[in-house]
C-alpha cells in the first residue's frame, strides 16, 4: 500500500491533520493502535481557543461544535476567600468555546468515514523506517499479518507514549520536562454545571476546578496526591472535598450525583526539540505535554497540525521545502508560549508539598496582581483565549 502522508495516531492531532491535508488534495492513511471505541472513551479537557474554533470551522468540521458548544466570555478565579471574574471580551475582545475533546474526535472520525478516507484501527507493532532517506515507509501488523505502507512523509501524532518520538535516535532529540508533585482527580456527572462559567479555585486544601461539557453534564476536578487511587475516592468523598475548596456560594449551588467517569491524571510539562527529523514530523502530545491548568493541550495540537498541513501543502503545490524546513521553529514558538502559561497558572493555583508561607503569599500576590492590574489580567486573558500568533 502507498500514500503521500502516513499519519500515526487517530487522536485529534492525527484526525485533523488528515482532514486538512484532504482539503489540499493530499492523500493520507491513519494508523491507530487502539479501537475506535477505545479512542472515544478517553475523557479530556474541553476549552477551545478562538483560533482552534476558527480552524475547525475552516476545515469544515465545526458544525456540531457551533450548534452544541458553549461560548464563554470569561472565567472566575478564586483564591482562599477572594474571587474575581475575568471578562475576556472586555479584556481582549475574544472568548473561548467549551466543547469536549471527545466530541471533536467523534466529529473528525465521522467526517473521515463520510469522506471515505482510510483509518486502520488496531494496527499493532507500528514501526517507522527510513525517515532519514527519501522514501520512508511504515510497517504494522493487523490480524496477524504484517503490512507495509510506503509514503513521502510520516506525521507522528501518536501522543506522549507513541512510537514516533521513540524512533528518533537519542542524539538527534532534546527533551525538556517538569513533573509536578500532584495529580488531578476528575469526575464527570450528569448534573447541570454549578455556574455558567468555569471556576478555578486555589484553596489551602488544594486546587479545584469546576468545568462542564453541556448544560446538563459537568466536569469537576480536585488536586490530589500522586499516591492517591480512584478506589480511595468514593463519590461522597469527592463531593465533600470539592465543596470545601470552591467557596460557600458555589458549594451551596453544587448539584451532585453518581459519577459517570472518575480518573486521576498526573501533571507534567514536556517539550521535545526539534519536531522534524528528515521526513518525520512530530505534532500534538507526541511533541509536547502541558499540565491541564489552562486547557492548552488540544489547542496546541490543533495549531501544530495547521502549521504542518500548510507546510506540506507548500511542498506538494509549490514544490517548496521552506515550510517543511521551518515547521519545527514555527510550531515551537507557540508551544513554548503555552508551556509558560500552563506552568504559570499551575504554579499560581496549586498547593505544593512543603510550600513555605512565603511562597503561599507570593501566590496570593500573583492573584492580586491579576485583580488589580488591568495589563496583567489582559496578558492572562490573551494567553487563555489564545494569542493570534
Query: Could you list the active site residues?
Result: 72, 200, 292, 296, 384
Contacts of residue 385, defined as CB under 8 A and 6 or more positions apart, other chains included, come to 49, 50, 88, 92, 94, 95, 96
Q: Choose between 111 and 241: whose C-beta lies nearer to ligand APR.
A: 111
The beta strands (E) that lie in the chain are given as 5-8, 28-31, 47-48, 70-72, 74-79, 82-87, 96-98, 118-120, 124-129, 137-142, 145-150, 153-156, 174-189, 199-203, 206-212, 218-224, 259-273, 276-277, 280-282, 288-289
The residues that touch ligand APR, with contacts defined as CB under 6 A, are 8-14, 31-34, 39, 44-45, 101, 123, 126, 157-159, 161-163, 284-285, 297-298, 301
Q: How far is the CB of 320 from ligand PHB (least distance, A)?
A: 38
Instruction: Provide the mask over 43-82, with x wherever binding to ligand PHB is found by CB under 6 A and - wherever it is not.
Output: --xxx-----------------------------------
Q: How far is the CB of 8 from ligand PHB (least distance, A)?
A: 25
Cis link prior to 280 (omega < 30° from 0)? no
Q: Choose between 44 and 219: whose C-beta lies nearer to ligand APR.
A: 44
Q: Are 126 and 164 in contact (CB under 8 A)?
A: no
Q: Which does 250 bind (CB under 5 to 8 A by kind): ligand APR, ligand PHB, none?
A: none
Q: How far is the CB of 354 from ligand PHB (least distance, A)?
A: 25
How many Å apart are CA 298 and CA 68, to the nearest integer?
18
Q: Which does 149 bind (CB under 5 to 8 A by kind): ligand PHB, ligand APR, none?
A: none
Q: Choose between 157 and 308: whose C-beta lies nearer to ligand APR.
A: 157
Residue 300 as a binder of ligand PHB (CB under 6 A): the answer is no
Residue 12 as a binder of ligand PHB (CB under 6 A): the answer is no
Q: How far is the CB of 202 from ligand PHB (least distance, A)?
A: 13
Q: Which does 293 bind (CB under 5 to 8 A by kind): ligand APR, ligand PHB, none?
A: ligand PHB
Distance of alpha carbon 325 from the chain centroid: 25
Q: Using CB under 6 A, which of 293, 299, 363, 385 touches ligand PHB?
A: 293
List the grid coordinates of 319.
514544490
Q: Are 384 and 337 in contact (CB under 8 A)?
A: no
Pairing of strands 174-189, 218-224: antiparallel
Q: How far is the CB of 39 from ligand APR (least distance, A)?
A: 5
Task: Write out the DSSP string of 121-187.
Answer: -S-EEEEEE-TTSSS-EEEEEETTEEEEEE-SEEEE---TT-HHHHTS-GGG-EEEEEEEEEEEEEE
Q: Which does 8 bind (CB under 5 to 8 A by kind): ligand PHB, ligand APR, none?
A: ligand APR
Q: How far is the CB of 201 from ligand PHB (least distance, A)?
A: 12
Residue 338 as a binder of ligand PHB (CB under 6 A): the answer is no
The helix/strand count (H/E) of the chain reads as 13, 20
Residue 211 as a binder of ligand PHB (CB under 6 A): the answer is yes
Q: Are 206 and 232 in contact (CB under 8 A)?
A: no
Q: Using CB under 6 A, which of 163, 295, 308, 312 touches ligand PHB?
A: 295
Site residues (vs ligand PHB, CB under 6 A): 45-47, 198, 209, 211, 219, 292-295
Amino acid at each position: 500500500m502507498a500514500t503521500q502522508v502516513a499519519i500515526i495516531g487517530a487522536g485529534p492531532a492525527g484526525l485533523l491533520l488528515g482532514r486538512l491535508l484532504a482539503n489540499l488534495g493530499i492523500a493520507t492513511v491513519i494508523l491507530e493502535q487502539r479501537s475506535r471505541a477505545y479512542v472515544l472513551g478517553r475523557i479530556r479537557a474541553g476549552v477551545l481557543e478562538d483560533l482552534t474554533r476558527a480552524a475547525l470551522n475552516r476545515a469544515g468540521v465545526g458544525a456540531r461544535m457551533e450548534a452544541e458548544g458553549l461560548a464563554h466570555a470569561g472565567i472566575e478565579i478564586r483564591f482562599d476567600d477572594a474571587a474575581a471574574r475575568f471578562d475576556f471580551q472586555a479584556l481582549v475582545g475574544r472568548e473561548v468555546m467549551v466543547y469536549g475533546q471527545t466530541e471533536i474526535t467523534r466529529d473528525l472520525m465521522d467526517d473521515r468515514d463520510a469522506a471515505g478516507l482510510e483509518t486502520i484501527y488496531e494496527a499493532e507493532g507500528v514501526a517507522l523506517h527510513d525517515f532519514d532517506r527519501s522514501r520512508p515507509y511504515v510497517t504494522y501488523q493487523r490480524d496477524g499479518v504484517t503490512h507495509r505502507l510506503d509514503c513521502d512523509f510520516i506525521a507522528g501524532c501518536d501522543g506522549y507514549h507513541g512510537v514516533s518520538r521513540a524512533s528518533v535516535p537519542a542524539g538527534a532529540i532534546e527533551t525538556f520536562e517538569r513533573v509536578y508533585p500532584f495529580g488531578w482527580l476528575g469526575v464527570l456527572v450528569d448534573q447541570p454545571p454549578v455556574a455558567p462559567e468555569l471556576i478555578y479555585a486555589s484553596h489551602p486544601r488544594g486546587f479545584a476546578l469546576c468545568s462542564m461539557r453541556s448544560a446538563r453534564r459537568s466536569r469537576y476536578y480536585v488536586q490530589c496526591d500522586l499516591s492517591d487511587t480512584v478506589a480511595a475516592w468514593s463519590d461522597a468523598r469527592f463531593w465533600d472535598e470539592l465543596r470545601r475548596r470552591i467557596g460557600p456560594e458555589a458549594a451551596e449551588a453544587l448539584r451532585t450525583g453518581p459519577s459517570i467517569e472518575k480518573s486521576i491524571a498526573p501533571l507534567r510539562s514536556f517539550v521535545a526539540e526539534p519536531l522534524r527529523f528528515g521526513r518525520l514530523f512530530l505534532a500534538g502530545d507526541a511533541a509536547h505535554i502541558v499540565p491541564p491548568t489552562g486547557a492548552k493541550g488540544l489547542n496546541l495540537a490543533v495549531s501544530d497540525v495547521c502549521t504542518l498541513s500548510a507546510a506540506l501543502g507548500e511542498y506538494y503545490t509549490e514544490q517548496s521545502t521552506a515550510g517543511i524546513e521551518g515547521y519545527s521553529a514555527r510550531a515551537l514558538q507557540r508551544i513554548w508560549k503555552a508551556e509558560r502559561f500552563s506552568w504559570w497558572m499551575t504554579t499560581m493555583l496549586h498547593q505544593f508539598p512543603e510550600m513555605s508561607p512565603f511562597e503561599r503569599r507570593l501566590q496570593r500576590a500573583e492573584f492580586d496582581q491579576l485583580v488589580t492590574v488591568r495589563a496583567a489580567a489582559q496578558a492572562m486573558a490573551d494567553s487563555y483565549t489564545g494569542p493570534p500568533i
